[in-house]
Structure 1
Amino acid sequence: MSIYSGKRVALLTQHGKERVVGPVLERELGCRVEHTVGYDTDLLGTFTRDIPRSGTQLEAARKKARVGMELSALSLGLASEGSFGQDPFMGMFPWNVELLVWIDRERELEVVGMAQGKANFSHLLTADWATAKTFARKLRFPEHHVVVRPESEHDPRIRKGIATWTELEITFAWALAQSENGHVFLETDVRAHANPMRMENIRLAAEDLAQKLRSLCPACGTPGFWKVERVAGLPCSVCHAPTNETRAETQGCLICPHRYTRELTDRSYADPRFCDNCNP
């Protein structure tokens, strides 16, 4: 049982996120996730660039959660926001970061779940239908939907949510006829309901959020007692000098000043590759 068992939570979404978020949180927390509608969340920004997002990813998720709370008259709100870019390691493939924000008005508390991983997010400019078909197959179409527009990525004439081969061929022909430069721009539709790979990251963000909400502060009982700092200094396996590798983690409360540092037990020494003495 969690402190949110039996509680109603507003989830504002128009892209089917309730299908993965609801089951996770209801199972782990015993709460009741209520799908909330009545606000066009695209007004806060679209991935197709026709409406730019104002503010940060976290601010957008927070705004959605608060709007959902207002519409439902509930004191608990929940919303997610995604972002796309290059992977943070090598910058070689598309990357998706998902944030899932939980707001508890009564406790004046905000807890954020997060997940990240590879994304199905690509684009192509072409004048050739055969090339467009090959591109769509690489995107795992029609399981993952496609967006089409004439001329370029900035053309305002957009067709979203294309989910069948017949529809794609017809839309490609339409865009080609509209295009003054003889090209058509295609890209992955990364709205949650149109992109199963992104939906899985949203589910993982819900799992992360549930873990945080089930972790209570030992001092005051507030949910979200979680990692706030890593402690470096894991000794080198050769010379035993401290390295920058993580030795311990500090958990902290979001409300009271309580902190707890625990030593990591998965390994006792760092690889000498990460030692400034052995590998300066």
Structure 2
Amino acid sequence: METRPLKLCRVYEGSCIVLSTKHAKSGALSAPFWNTLKASMIECPVDTDLLGSFPSTGSRAGNAIECARRKCQMSLRRLGEKVKFVLASEGSFGPHPFLAGRASDFEVLYFIDRQHGFQLHLSCLSAKTNFSMRAVGSMEELREFAAKALFPAHGLILRPNRSVDSNLVFKGVDSAGALEPAFRECVKHSADRMAWVETDMRAIFNPTRMEVIAELGCKLAERLAVLCPKCRTPGWGRVQLLPEMDGGECAGGVEVGSAEVHGCAKCGHEERMGTGGLVEGRARIW
């Protein structure tokens, strides 16, 4: 059976998408949306740190998807009903769940389309990150950490390792001239005479993270270019990956490949796509 042909849409051509951001993420996202959808992008500078920030000035309420949605809503409340399309990004960093000893970057893009009446998010898990942190007691240790963290192209954050003054923090340190003074000040105000240093994961100070956001932006733009075969709403694409089993003579079968379930974010219509094309279709309201 042949694969159902994709219906590419041009509904976003000439539109302007509002990007809810504080850290200049249009540098990563404007090109994918223009190249694929011919849609321009404008930033709405909202204080997204109110929802939590990487330098530990506040804990994030909810998961990354919920936070990205709230960022979109912040711009919608600020700009009003005339805004039809809004986009936001959120990232989380930590140990990689599958690669021992590696760090990971989990990125989310959330898109709200008021004109067509749907919301859509995509996410990715990437091992491409410089995320790291440690306590250092000398400039030699700090320079070693900085080199591995791709400094000065990537920024750093420094604070006293043990201090009652949680407000003393140096963010966005991205020059050799600023590194040593920040270290000396942190050591002076730390009970153990050490400084805590971490990579600045804010996108504007982290080109590697910008690359991951751009890659996810390409995937989202490509998905928004495809229409649902049932209701013709943009955003048709994979919503689930299923194993395909070969029954054979063994009870339970053997996994021999995978099938994808493609779905619509508005009407809930789904189709299971196997290696030979369309397997079945059904409707499910999310």
TM-score w.r.t. length of structure 2 = 0.86
**Equivalent in the alignment of 1:3:** 11
Alpha-carbon offset, residue 63 of structure 1: 0.9
**TM alignment of 1:248-267, pairs within 5 A:** 248-264=259-275
**Equivalent in the alignment of 1:51:** 58
Alpha-carbon offset, residue 256 of structure 1: 2.0
Alpha-carbon offset, residue 189 of structure 1: 0.4
**Equivalent in the alignment of 1:31:** 39
Question: Structure 1: how far apart are the matches of 2:155 and 2:17?
Answer: 30
Pick 1 or 2: higher relative contact order, CA cutoff 8 A, min separation 6. 2
**Equivalent in the alignment of 1:270:** none
**TM alignment of 1:236-251, pairs within 5 A:** 242-244=253-255, 246-251=257-262
Question: Which of the numbers 113, 123, 128 marks the counterpart of 1:114?
Answer: 123
- Contact kept, 8 Å, 1:69 with 1:76, in 2: the verdict is no
Question: Structure 1: how far apart are the matches of 2:67 and 2:187?
Answer: 35
**Equivalent in the alignment of 2:238:** 227
- Contact kept, 8 Å, 2:163 with 2:189, in 1: the verdict is no
Question: Which of the numbers 104, 116, 141 marks the counterpart of 1:95?
Answer: 104
Does 2:165 align with 1:164? Answer: no
Question: Structure 1: how far apart are the matches of 2:144 and 2:228?
Answer: 53
**Equivalent in the alignment of 1:210:** 221
Does 2:148 align with 1:141? Answer: no
TM-score w.r.t. length of structure 1 = 0.87
Q: Decide which moves more: 211-220 or 84-93.
A: 84-93
Deviations along 1:172-228, one digit per CA (max 9) or x if unpaired, are 111111112111111100000111111111101101111211121111111121122
- Contact kept, 8 Å, 1:21 with 1:203, in 2: the verdict is yes
Question: Which of the numbers 31, 34, 42 marks the counterpart of 2:49?
Answer: 42
- Contact kept, 8 Å, 1:111 with 1:212, in 2: the verdict is no
Aligned residues: 265
**TM alignment of 1:179-190, pairs within 5 A:** 179-190=190-201
**3-state secondary structure, aligned to 1:217:** coil
**Equivalent in the alignment of 2:85:** 76
- Contact kept, 8 Å, 1:77 with 1:103, in 2: the verdict is yes
Alpha-carbon offset, residue 241 of structure 1: 7.5
Alpha-carbon offset, residue 101 of structure 1: 0.8
- Contact kept, 8 Å, 1:100 with 1:206, in 2: the verdict is yes
Question: Which of the numbers 204, 213, 224 marks the counterpart of 1:193?
Answer: 204
Structure 2 unpaired stretches of 5+: 1-8, 278-286
Structure 1 unpaired stretches of 5+: 267-280
Question: Structure 2: how far apart are the matches of 1:250 and 1:178?
Answer: 56
Runs of 4+ in structure 1 off by over 6 angstroms are: 236-241
Alpha-carbon offset, residue 245 of structure 1: 5.0
Alpha-carbon offset, residue 156 of structure 1: 3.5
- Contact kept, 8 Å, 1:231 with 1:250, in 2: the verdict is yes
**Equivalent in the alignment of 1:129:** 139
1:131–1:257 distance in 2 versus 1, CA, 3 Å:
closer
**3-state secondary structure, aligned to 1:233:** strand
Alpha-carbon offset, residue 80 of structure 1: 0.4
- Contact kept, 8 Å, 1:8 with 1:34, in 2: the verdict is yes
Alpha-carbon offset, residue 102 of structure 1: 0.8
Question: Structure 2: how far apart are the matches of 1:244 and 1:153?
Answer: 55
Q: Decide which moves more: 153-162 or 63-72.
A: 153-162
- Contact kept, 8 Å, 1:45 with 1:54, in 2: the verdict is yes
Alpha-carbon offset, residue 36 of structure 1: 1.1
Q: Decide which moves more: 234-243 or 196-205.
A: 234-243
- Contact kept, 8 Å, 1:233 with 1:242, in 2: the verdict is no
Structure 1 vs Structure 2 CA RMSD: 2.3
Question: Structure 1: how far apart are the matches of 2:210 and 2:223?
Answer: 20
- Contact kept, 8 Å, 1:103 with 1:111, in 2: the verdict is yes
Does 2:102 align with 1:105? Answer: no
**3-state secondary structure, aligned to 1:175:** helix
Question: Structure 2: how far apart are the matches of 1:234 and 1:96?
Answer: 32
1:41–1:245 distance in 2 versus 1, CA, 3 Å:
farther
Opposite residue 185 of structure 1, the aligned amino acid is W
**Equivalent in the alignment of 2:283:** none
